Amino acid sequence: MNEADFGRLIKAYDMAARQHVNQRRKDKAASPYINHPVSLVTLLWEVGGVRDVNILIAAVLHDTLEDTVKQGSDEDFALQAEIRQEFGEEVLSLVKAVTDDKSLPKEERKKRQIEHAASTPPKAKLIKLADKISNVTDIAANPPKDWSLERRKEYLNWAKAVVDAAQADSPNLVARFEQVYRDGMRQLQDQHAAGI
């Protein structure tokens, strides 16, 4: 990665940190939300071997449109314009490709992720795959405090359905997902058997 690309990536981290400043993950510790995009970039870089800076930048920003502004609002359009201006049309397109339509009910959004996974642009599939790896890892190891074992199992199975439908072209990331999925299901079975 050259100096200019590294500078763009740092700028993306700054934008994501500002956008997610008041957000926390749903885990028991209420971890800072920025930890999640950091984990995606780490997975893409270390496991997936991704060196395309636009993919890495979009991974950092992947939840900004979905989780920090009301979709269709002036703030949404302003944030899209800022992403386009700072990082270019490809980055904005990748972020939009992994952004759920929050105006839809949750079950419909989940269904659409499976249905649209195969037609998602290849670069966006890598971001989606890293997102699922990160989320499955978190939900298995450090779940939201109010999630039952059944809800956690349903999430893991849904994430697997999305990953299977996507058919992302990254054997290492797919293998990592399969590993965290199996480990997560084993943890849930052990907890069920122990009555936790």
Q: Report domain extents, the chain.
A: 3-194
The chain-wide mean pLDDT, for the chain, equals 95
Q: Is 150 one of the annotated active-site residues of the chain?
A: no
Mean pLDDT value of segment 47-51: 98
Residues 5, 52, 67, 100: which is the catalytic one?
Answer: 67
- Find the radius of gyration of the CA atoms of the chain: 17
Write down the pLDDT at residue 193. 82
- Could you tell me which of 115, 13, 120, 139 has the C-alpha nearest to residue 64? 13
Grade residue 98 by pLDDT with cuts at 50, 70 and 90.
very high
Q: Is the pLDDT of residue 194 over 90?
A: no
Residues 5, 27, 52, 66: which is the catalytic one?
Answer: 66
Q: Is the pLDDT of residue 83 over 70?
A: yes
Mean pLDDT value of segment 114-137: 97
**Check whether domain 3-194 has CATH 1.10.3210.10, yes or no:** yes
How far apart are the C-alpha atoms of 141 and 194, rounded to whole Å?
16
How far apart are the C-alpha atoms of 120 and 99, rounded to whole Å?
11
Q: Is 66 one of the annotated active-site residues of the chain?
A: yes
pTM above 0.75, yes or no: yes
**126-152: per-residue pLDDT in tens?**
999 999 999 999 998 888 988 999 999
